[in-house]
Amino acid sequence: MSILGTEGEKEKMMKFILFIAVIAVVFVSSMAFAVQANREELNSELSALMSEQKEIDKEQLAVNQKAEDSKWVETSLIKVTAEVKAEKSKLESRSTDFNMSQSQWLSDVAPYKQNCEGKVFQRTTEGIAQYNACISDKAYYDKRHDVLRDIHSQLNADIASFNQREKTLQENNELWAKGLTEIKAKQGAVDDRKRAWLVRYNAVINSPAFRQLVKKNGQSGKCASIQGVENIALNVLDGAAEKAHRCLQTVWDGAR
């Protein structure tokens, strides 16, 4: 008698072994399919993360450029504001000088008006002398008046020009302040995207599929164990955030 028993028993045993082999093949195939599916899903997530990172970097560069432009405008406005302030001080000083000169003219011309204006002179030696003196005084005071009139006219023109410049400066300051508010809002939106990206990043690097992929690529622990990545800087990619970014790129390249 054979150690395996009768022919019938041998046939049963062979069928059982064949059944086990088929089950094993199906199991291994299923596991391989699951691993491949997980890998494809992980690759898709990594690709999406890298694409979004590029978009965020592009947005950050645009915000940075607007911020630089805003600083340049701010510097220019500060300079113009100082110039306007100095110009205003000069105009105030000129106005004071004009008012003093006008007051002095009014004081000086008062005797002439009292002694000469509306007065009828006698055709005597004394009357003729008074008349000639009044004519001379009139020419003198009229000349001073003409000078004051020109000064006043120029002063008014300069004040009008200054008022327009001051108005333009105020409008530019308002536009700059509005632009600065928009820049801060855009920076806030970029910061929100960075925080959301970091949440997704942490979810991926802490997933079993990613850890397995990292291990296979010889990068064990380099991504998931980076200290300080939770404190990622919002405006620059450096420190722990830079390491995380670099590690992610390395693993992604290895997964493709």
**pLDDT at position 246, please?**
64
Decide if 205 is inside a domain: yes
Instruction: Give the pLDDT of residue 205.
Output: 80
Res 218: pLDDT: 56
CB-count exposure of residue 225 (10 Å: 0-12, 13-18, 19+): exposed
How many Cβ atoms from other residues are within 10 Å of residue 211's Cβ? 15
* Residue 130 domain-assigned (yes or no): yes
Question: Do residues 121 and 131 touch, judged by C-beta distance below 8 A?
Answer: yes
Model pTM score? 0.60
- Residue 231 pLDDT greater than 90, yes or no: no
Judge whether 10 lies within some domain: no
Token pair for 87: 């110009």
Q: Residue 214: inside a domain, yes or no?
A: yes
| pLDDT value of position 63 | 95
The boundaries of the domain holding residue 101 are 39-255
Confidence class for position 106, pLDDT limits 50, 70, 90: very high
In a domain, 2, yes or no: no
Local confidence band at 23 (pLDDT 50, 70, 90 cut-offs): very low
HSE toward the beta carbon, residue 172, CA cutoff 13 A: 17
User: Over the stretch 242-255, which tens digit does the pLDDT of each residue have?
Assistant: 666 666 666 555 54
Does 3 fall in a domain?
no
Separation between Cα atoms, residue 255 and residue 217, nearest integer Å: 8
> Helices 208-216 and 7-115 meet at what angle, rounded to 10?
100
How far apart, in whole angstroms, are the C-alpha atoms of residue 150 and residue 12?
128
| 209 touches 252 (CB < 8 A) | no
- String of DSSP letters for the chain: --TT-SHHHHHHHHHHHHHHHHHHHHHHHHHHHHHHHHHHHHHHHHHHHHHHHHHHHHHHHHHHHHHHHHHHHHHHHHHHHHHHHHHHHHHHHHHHHHHHHHHHHHHHHHHHHHHTTTPPPPSSHHHHHHHHHHHHHHHHHHHHHHHHHHHHHHHHHHHHHHHHHHHHHHHHHHHHHHHHHHHHHHHHHHHHHHHHHHHHHHHHHTSHHHHHHHHHTT-TTTTTT-TTGGG--SS---HHHHHHHHHHHHHHHHH-
Residue 121, pLDDT score: 80
pLDDT of residue 32: 39
User: Which pLDDT does position 225 carry in this prediction?
Assistant: 56
Average pLDDT over residues 42-55: 84
Q: Can you tell me the distance from the alpha carbon of 242 to that of 215, in angstroms, rounded to the nearest whole number?
A: 21
Do the domain assignments include residue 7?
no
- 244 or 76, higher pLDDT: 76
- In this prediction, residue 251 carries a pLDDT of 57
Specify if 185 maps to a domain. Answer: yes
Number of domains in the chain: 1
Q: How confident is the model at residue 80 (pLDDT cuts 50, 70, 90)?
A: very high
What mean pLDDT, rounded, does the chain reach? 78
